[in-house]
Chain A
Amino acid sequence: MTDIPAKAVTPSASSGSVLLTLMKLRTFIALIAVLIFFSIAAPNFLSTANLILMSKHVALNAFLAMGMTFVIITGGIDLSVGSIVGLCGMVAGYLVLNGIDLQIGYTIYFNVLEIALITLAVGILIGAVNGLLITRLNVAPFIATLGVLYVARGLALLSSDGRTFPNLVGKPELGTTGFGFLGAGRLLGLPVAIWILIVVALGAAYLAKYTPLGRHIFAVGGNERASRISGVRVNMVKMFVYMFSGFCAAIVGLIISSELMASHPATGESFELNAIAAAVLGGTSMSGGRGTIGGTIVGAFVIGILSDGLVMMGVSSFWQMVIKGLVIIVAVVVDQAQRRLQSRVTLMQMAKAG
């Protein structure tokens, strides 16, 4: 699941390389397997309505997983995304209902577009806090984002005293209506959220493949020292990935509160774990340097379809957790096996040649 084209592997008819190809395509195979399985086992699984509903579920995790993928490729981790989702939802809800009180008798109300932009800015800002802690203060990513996880969740709860902001319909006279469009609107038959996912995913994939910044993200994860000596601005790269992750989380916060037309401060709890799982399932290596946006999206689909399909089959949610955990473990075990097999194949070829 790296960006090395398949032609780099010398083709040979041996069983080793067939196995290798199968292993490389494992996430795809898993995706097709769950699709086939559930279309047989769960009635109505392949109905258009169900597919669209599922893809909306998947989209939420896919956004977070994309941000997480870049972070993990640089060798870091972002545990704070779930909390950012919650906090950003609260920010959006607060702005729709209350606007900003300027303390001089006036209150500014924003229209929906402005609210969305402010919310995204908040997400990016929290990402920047993560980045600054990690690059300037040398806090380990795990600890820095764990701290921010608590802080952001606490702020979300404080913003409403733990209550839900209900009924975000807005008032026409204040120009705050239309917040539901993000979560419920459709363009050309597809939900708006899916369109946003497509745009962000294409953007992220382009960034990874065709820009210096994207190349630098992989380089930093592959070898930070060598990158530094080659003139890569390692700190800027790291700032970017955490800010992008915050941006993705803010989008999810917006979509969820728009779908529900309400913001609840506990929204997004444990979302970070699903995002990590999707990234890892899609071939992102936790030790950095390897991963693709495409793989991560497929990984998000496998996890999403698995949980929705199991729900439709009526499997207990406790069993769902067990199954999800097993799938993740198997994915990583296969990933490691592939690495070993691949290096053995290359070593054998070299020993023969040299």
Chain B
Amino acid sequence: MSAAREREIILKLEDVSKVYSGTVAVKRANFEVRKGSVNVLVGENGAGKSTLMKIIAGVERPTAGRILLEGEEVSFSSSGDAVNRGIGMVFQELNLFGNMSVAENIFATREITNRFGKIDRKEQENRAAELLERLQAGIRPDMLVEDLRIGQQQLVEIAKAVSLDARILIMDEPTSALSAAEVEILFKVIADLKARGVAIVYISHRLEELIRIGDYITVLRDGRITGQEEMKNVDTQWIVRQMIGSDAKDFAKADGHLPGEEIFRAEEICLPRATGGLAVDHVSLSLRAGEILGIYGLMGAGRSELFDCIMGRHGHSTGAIFIGGIKVKERDTTRRIRRGLALIPEDRQREGLVSILSVASNLTLASLSRFARLYHIHGADERQAVTQMVRELAIKVADPAQEVSSLSGGNQQKVVIGKALLTEPKVLLMDEPSRGIDVGAKADVFRTMRKLSRDGLGILFATSDLDEVMALSDRIAVMSNGKLTGMFDRAEATEAALVAASALGHGPAPHTENTAHD
């Protein structure tokens, strides 16, 4: 590649910090972006990559530090500002309007208008069609975005960013929902942009991808930059070492206890998708007491939807679940919790916590009836349970009466876990339990999972992190496109087999007439 000679620096961050209520996301980071090259940014979940990129794209403002664009200090008050200065971004969470067409999405806020200010739909659709042609996405510009597969939506997001003709293009995990063929096409587009002198910032945690297309690499850990190198000088081991530090990932060893009787079984769970097809497609699985069953799959594979069905959050899902061999007839969440199911949702802020309530109130929210006699909450009982949970899970909080939003991400996650445990569940569903939390908290969460399984709980946990699923699970199920595409014993599972199974479900998609993404 052309990274042999030093490329010109177009953007530079100096001592940039970003503090949210509850977390210091980025600490005094120095970061350089070079023209005509792929600048890779890598780090674990929650290391601060996305935050750093949002600062560059003008979505977030740094709490401290300077941003230099071509040597001149800039400060963006909105992403529009950044776009005007030639910085575009492909967001990790899709920022699309489902109720609008692909073309309208691509030209949102930059609508092509005629002399009288009327939107020129034809022209927009023609230009959108050109862009989509380059991505070989098989998407028509007049399709509604909500009717597209997640992977196709990601391609629209990419097309939108490319259409900006940006000088700096940030791609935050652009391949997380793409098939292998789609990834190849994306790489071609990236090579093309590079040749035109565009500086690309590329975030991913798929190491093989990074090494293939990166020119420069920067590693983030816990909000700090721990390494910055030319890609040709580094290897996988160097990256891993910078990512996780000297101490290797602490997954808490299995203690070799044997799982007991079957405690949970799901049969033929189905959930129709609003746009046709099935979000969860006839999934059946069984879990034994004391067993950790990992569910691996990419974004949009249907893992969270499966958990939602099990918890009774979708009235229109079908299939049956059994706890301890007895069929669960209750269809609502409240009574399923009483039967011994508990969910730790993926999105802590939106679904896990009531952020304006105290740590204590959050912990006991799901189990208040335990502390109440005749409608009166026994303060002493409640406080005792809270204190015990805070100690058991090592939640770092000065006073449980503090608002939960003042805690760090990891401690917030522990509060969500504590809330579920206080309902005394038999089966625990954990959706991406380590997302967005720091290394220490991760180790605590993993240790807690081990301990709970030793105590005889059945744990189902969903993750898109290969290391995690390999290290923690007794058995591994793989989901793809709503289907269960593989079930492996810990001993026989290999990373290659898991990855292969996670792509299986993407046969010809049942609800689109074309199969271009294959």
B258 at the interface (CB under 8 A from A): no
B280 close to A (CB within 8 Å): no
Residues of B within 8 Å of A231, CB to CB, are: 333-334, 337-338, 366, 423
Interface residues of A in 190-245 (CB under 8 A from B): 210-213, 215-216, 218-219, 222-223, 225-233
- A351: Cβ under 8 A from any B Cβ: yes
Q: Scoring B residues 386 to 406 as 1 if CB is less than 8 Å from chain A, else 0, what string do you get?
A: 000000000000010111001
- Chain A residues with CB below 8 A from B24, complex form: 350-351, 354
Closest to B403 in A: A4
Interface pair A229/B313, CB less than 8 Å apart: yes
Q: A7-B401, A231-B423, A343-B21 are in contact. Are A225 and B369 (CB under 8 A)?
A: no
> Does B358 sit at the interface, judged by CB under 8 A?
yes
Q: Are B401 and A230 in contact (CB under 8 A)?
A: no
A290 to B345, CA, bound (A): 24
Asked if A346 is at the interface (CB within 8 A of a chain B CB), the reply is yes
Query: What is the minimal beta-carbon distance from A24 to any residue of chain B, in angstroms?
Result: 14
Any chain A CB within 8 A of the CB of B17? yes
Q: Chain A contact residues: over half helix, strand or loop, or mixed?
A: helix
- The verdict on A347 contacting chain B, using a C-beta distance below 8 Å, is yes
B residues 323-368 in Cβ contact with A at 8 Å = 333-334, 337-338, 343, 345, 350-358, 361, 364-366, 368
B357 touches A218 (CB 8 A): yes
- The reply to whether B19 and A226 form a contact with Cβ atoms under 8 Å apart is no
Stretch touching chain A among B136-144, B204-212, B370-378, B489-497: B370-378
Q: When each residue 272-291 of chain A gets 1 if its CB lies under 8 Å from chain B and 0 otherwise, what string results? A: 00000000000000000110
Q: Residues of A contacting B338 with CB < 8 Å?
A: 231
Residues in B whose Cβ lies below 8 Å from that of A230: 337, 365-366, 419
Interchain Cβ contacts within 8 Å, total number: 105
Chain A residues, CB < 8 A from B345: 226, 229
Is B449's beta carbon under 8 Å from chain A?
no
Instruction: Decide yes or no whether A5 CB sits under 8 A from chain B.
Output: yes
**Contacting A2 at CB < 8 Å: which of B356, B368, B377?**
B356
Among residues of B, the one whose C-beta sits closest to the C-beta of A347 is: B19
Among B334, B356, B376, B399, contact of A7 (Cβ-Cβ < 8 Å)? B399
Question: Complex: how many Å from CA A4 to CA B365?
Answer: 16
On whether the beta carbons of B376 and A351 are closer than 8 Å, the reply is: no
B78 at the A/B interface (Cβ < 8 Å)?
no
Which residues between 301 and 324 of chain B lie within 8 Å of chain A, taking CB atoms? 311, 313
Residue contact A215 to B368, C-beta cutoff 8 Å? yes
Nearest Cβ on chain B to A222's Cβ, whole angstroms:
4
Report chain B residues within 8 Å CB of A290.
356
* A275-328 contacts to B (CB < 8 Å): 289-290
Verify if B95 is at the interface (C-beta below 8 Å from A).
no
Asked whether A8 is an interface residue with its Cβ less than 8 Å from the other chain, the reply is yes
Contacts of B368 in A (CB 8 A): 212, 215-216
Among the listed B27, B313, B419, which residue makes an inter-chain contact with A228, where contact means beta carbons less than 8 Å apart? B313
Our pick among A211, A226, A351 for the contact of B372 (Cβ within 8 Å) is: A211
Q: Is B84 an interface residue (CB 8 A)?
A: no
Smallest Cβ distance from B13 to chain A, in angstroms?
17
A215 touches B351 (CB 8 A): no
Given A230-B419, A231-B366, A223 and B350 contact (CB-CB distance below 8 Å)? yes
Identify the closest chain B residue to A285 (Cβ): B356
Q: Which of A326-354 contact B (CB under 8 A)?
A: 343, 346-347, 350-351, 354
In the complex, A345→B74 CA distance in Å? Answer: 27
Given A212-B372, A350-B19, answer yes or no on A229-B343 (Cβ-Cβ < 8 Å): yes
Q: Of B63, B350, B377, which is within 8 A of A351 by CB? A: B63
B19 touches A354 (CB 8 A): yes
Evaluate whether A4 and B358 lie within 8 angstroms (CB atoms) in the complex, with A212-B372, A225-B351, A228-B333 already known.
Answer: yes
| Cβ proximity bits A1-22 to B, threshold 8 Å, 1 near / 0 not | 0101101100000000000000
B21 / chain A contacts, CB cutoff of 8 Å = 343, 346-347, 350
Q: How far is the CA of A213 from the CA of B369 in the complex (A)?
A: 10
Whether B352 pairs with A226 at a CB distance below 8 angstroms is: yes
Chain B, residue nearest A343 (CB): B21
A289 to chain B, nearest CB (A): 5
- Bound-state CA distance A289–B353 (Å) is 13
Contact B333 A229 (CB under 8 A): yes
Residue of A nearest to B347 (CB): A225
Cβ of B350 and Cβ of A225 under 8 Å apart? yes
A223, B345: Cα distance in complex, Å = 14
Determine which residue in A228, A229, A343, A347 has the highest number of CB atoms from chain B within 10 A of its CB, and name it.
Answer: A229
The chain B residue with its CB closest to the CB of A10 is: B398
- Bound complex: CA A229 to CA B334 (Å): 8
Which residues of B have CB within 8 Å of A211? 372, 375-377
B414 to chain A, nearest CB (A): 16
Residue of A nearest to B336 (CB): A231
Shortest CB–CB separation between residue B440 and chain A, in angstroms?
A: 13
A226 and B361 CA atoms in complex are apart in Å by: 13
Residue on B with the closest CB to A222? B354
B357 cross-chain contacts in A, Cβ below 8 A:
218-219, 222, 289
Least Cβ–Cβ distance between B340 and chain A, in angstroms: 12
A2 surroundings in chain B (CB, below 8 A): 356
Interface centre among B19, B337, B353 (most CB of A within 10 A): B19
Complex contact A227–B372 (CB within 8 A) = no
Q: Is the CB of B354 within 8 A of A226?
A: yes
Nearest B-chain residue to A5, judged by Cβ: B401
Contacts A218-B357, A222-B354; is A232 near B365 (CB within 8 Å)? yes
Q: How far is the CB of B309 from chain A (nearest CB, A)?
A: 13
B402, A226: Cβ atoms under 8 Å?
no
Bound-state Cα–Cα, A303 to B334, Å: 41
Query: Could you say which of B354, B355, B377, B402 contacts A227, with CB atoms under 8 Å apart?
Result: B354
Within 8 A of B (CB), among A1-51: 2, 4-5, 7-8
Q: Of all chain B residues, which has the CB nearest A211?
A: B375
Cα-based distance from A228 to B334 in the complex (angstroms): 8
Q: Which residue of B lies closest to A209 (CB)?
A: B377
B-chain residues with CB within 8 Å of residue A350 when the two chains form the complex = 19, 21-22, 24, 406
Closest B residue, CB atoms, query A206? B376
How far is A219 from B379 in the complex, measured between Cα atoms in Å? 18
List, in ascending order, chain B residues with CB within 8 A of A347's CB: 19-21, 63
CA A347 to CA B63, docked complex, whole Å: 10
CB distance from A217 to the nearest CB of B (A): 11
The residue on A at minimum CB distance from B408 is A354
A sample of 23 inter-chain contacts (CB < 8 A) reads A4-B403, A5-B401, A8-B402, A215-B377, A219-B354, A222-B355, A226-B345, A226-B350, A226-B352, A227-B365, A229-B311, A229-B313, A229-B343, A229-B345, A230-B419, A231-B337, A231-B338, A231-B366, A289-B357, A347-B63, A350-B24, A350-B406, A351-B24
Per CB-CB distance, the 7 closest pairs between chain A and chain B, nearest first, are A222-B354, A230-B366, A212-B368, A354-B24, A231-B337, A231-B334, A223-B354
Interface residues of B (CB under 8 A from A): 17, 19-22, 24, 27, 63-64, 311, 313, 333-334, 337-338, 343, 345, 350-358, 361, 364-366, 368-369, 372, 375-377, 379, 399, 401-403, 406, 419, 423
List residues of chain A with CB under 8 Å of any chain B CB. Answer: 2, 4-5, 7-8, 210-213, 215-216, 218-219, 222-223, 225-233, 289-290, 343, 346-347, 350-351, 354
List 14 extra interface pairs beyond A226-B351, A230-B337, CB under 8 A: A5-B401, A211-B377, A218-B354, A219-B357, A222-B356, A225-B350, A225-B351, A231-B338, A343-B21, A346-B21, A346-B406, A347-B20, A350-B19, A351-B24
